[in-house]
């Protein structure tokens, strides 16, 4: 059914074109005919793209870009067919400009979409890292009531979710120390737990200061 609906326009348009003009069409009319068919094909191609959230830059879905190109090209093409049938040079230039604009907008939108997805994925990963630290320290604090663990938990609560390459090494050390902290708490080793919590608190403060220095 969907395929039949997609074929309605090209069948009607091409049938009308050949019945009205046949092979007596001028160069300008042939160029417009080809451009309109290409624009409709481009619109159908954008429908194949997955429908996702609005794009970060132009705030348009790809299929809407394709639809706009098709509608504008249809209007322009009909103008050249009916009113400017003997202007092949102008018709060719206008059709190429429209197609070029479509490609620029489409590619820019796809790149913006990819960039947005990557940014969201980074934010999700970074959020998971800090949330993992918070939940791990909270679990340790619930099992071993130490002032150092409480201070560490409070420091993590005000730590930024975002991350940069500058603090990647510190975050790796924090992950490693959290594993050691869990082991110390499980073994009820208060002294080791205090030392690890104090070390992690210094690392968290250092991470926060480095992120603040970079403007994050």
Question: What tens digit of pLDDT does each residue of 151-206 get?
Answer: 888 888 888 877 777 777 888 888 898 899 999 989 998 889 899 989 988 988 88
The three-state DSSP-derived secondary structure of 154-202 is HHHHCCCCCCCHHHHHHHHHHHHHHHHHHHHHHCCCHHHHHHHHHHHHH
pLDDT band at residue 53 using 50, 70 and 90 as cut-offs: very low
pLDDT in tens, 103-159: 998 888 878 767 666 665 665 666 677 788 888 888 888 898 888 888 888 888 888
Average pLDDT over residues 202-214: 84
Please write the tens of the pLDDT for every residue from 1-30. Answer: 567 777 888 889 888 888 888 788 899 999
| Model pTM score | 0.54
Residue 55 above 50 pLDDT? no
Distance CA 87, CA 89 (A): 6
Token duo for residue 155: 């420091």
Residues sharing a CB contact under 8 Å with residue 77, sequence separation 6 or more, in sequence order: 32, 33, 35, 36, 95
């Amino acid at each position: 059914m969907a395929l039949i609906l997609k074929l309605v326009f090209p069948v009607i348009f091409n049938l009308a074109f050949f019945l009205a003009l046949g092979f007596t069409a001028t160069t300008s009319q042939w160029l417009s005919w080809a451009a309109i068919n290409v624009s409709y094909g481009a619109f159908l191609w954008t429908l194949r793209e997955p429908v996702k959230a609005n794009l970060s830059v132009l705030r348009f879905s790809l299929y809407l870009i394709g639809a706009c190109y098709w509608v504008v090209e249809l209007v322009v093409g009909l103008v050249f067919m009916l009113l400017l049938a003997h202007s092949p040079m102008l018709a060719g230039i206008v059709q190429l400009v429209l197609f070029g604009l479509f490609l620029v907008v489409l590619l820019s939108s796809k790149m913006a979409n990819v960039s947005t997805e990557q940014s969201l994925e980074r934010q999700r990963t970074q959020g998971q890292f800090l949330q993992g630290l918070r939940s791990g320290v909270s679990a340790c604090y619930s099992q071993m009531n130490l002032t150092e663990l409480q201070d560490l938990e409070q420091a993590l609560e005000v730590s930024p979710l975002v991350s940069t390459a500058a603090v990647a090494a510190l975050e790796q050390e924090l992950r490693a120390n959290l594993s050691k902290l869990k082991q110390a708490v499980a073994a009820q080793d208060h002294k080791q737990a205090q030392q690890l919590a104090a070390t992690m608190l210094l690392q968290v403060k250092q991470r926060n200061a480095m992120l603040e220095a970079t403007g994050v």
